[in-house]
Structures are given as structure tokens and as C-alpha cells.
Amino acid sequence: MGWLWAIIVGLVLGLIAKAIIPGKQHLPLWLTVILGMIGGIAGNAIARAAGVDATSGIDWWRHVFQLVMAIILVGLGDRAWAAARTGRRSA
């Protein structure tokens, strides 16, 4: 059940990240989900290092870290995907 939850959270984080990033993204859905999952894992690690991973109630800071990491990874992944598809490097 943990993997299913990770895929669902990755999908949600990836789609929110795509909605926040301005302009058109070229990433396929499967890559958006994977980058969202990695962003969630990285956000959890950062929240744990900051000491805000387990609080009473809703862990808002953990979710903020997860979303920020998903935005960063989807943005970088989109640039890399577009550069690889067009055959040129982005500066």
C-alpha cells in the first residue's frame, strides 16, 4: 500500500508543480509522476533534517518542502526533456 500511496502523492505533487510553473511543459505524465515522487521523498528528507517532519496535526512544513522540491525537479526535468527532444542544450 505504501507504493500506491507514493504514486498517488507523486501524481498530485507533479501536477501541482506543472500548474505552478509558468508556460507549457513538455514532460510526459509518467515522468511527471516519477519526479513528483522523488520530490516528495526529497522534501521528507529536508523536513526531517529541519526537525519538522512529525508534528501534531497536519505537517504543513513537510508538505511545503515536498511541493517546493517537486516544483524544482519538474522544472529541471522539463528543461532537460525539451533539450533532449530538440537535440540542443539549454543554456
The domain ranges of the chain are 3-88
User: Which residue is associated with the grid cell 527532444?
Assistant: 85
pLDDT band, very low/low/confident/very high, at 2 (cuts 50, 70, 90): low
CA distance 34 to 73: 10
Amino acid at 5: W
pLDDT digits (tens, 9 = 90+) for 53-89: 777 787 788 888 989 999 999 999 999 998 888 876 5
The 10s digit of each residue's pLDDT in 10-58 is 889 989 999 999 988 889 989 998 999 999 889 888 988 998 877 778 7
By the 8 A CB rule, do 26 and 1 touch?
Answer: no
Q: Residue 47 in contact with residue 62, Cβ under 8 Å?
A: yes
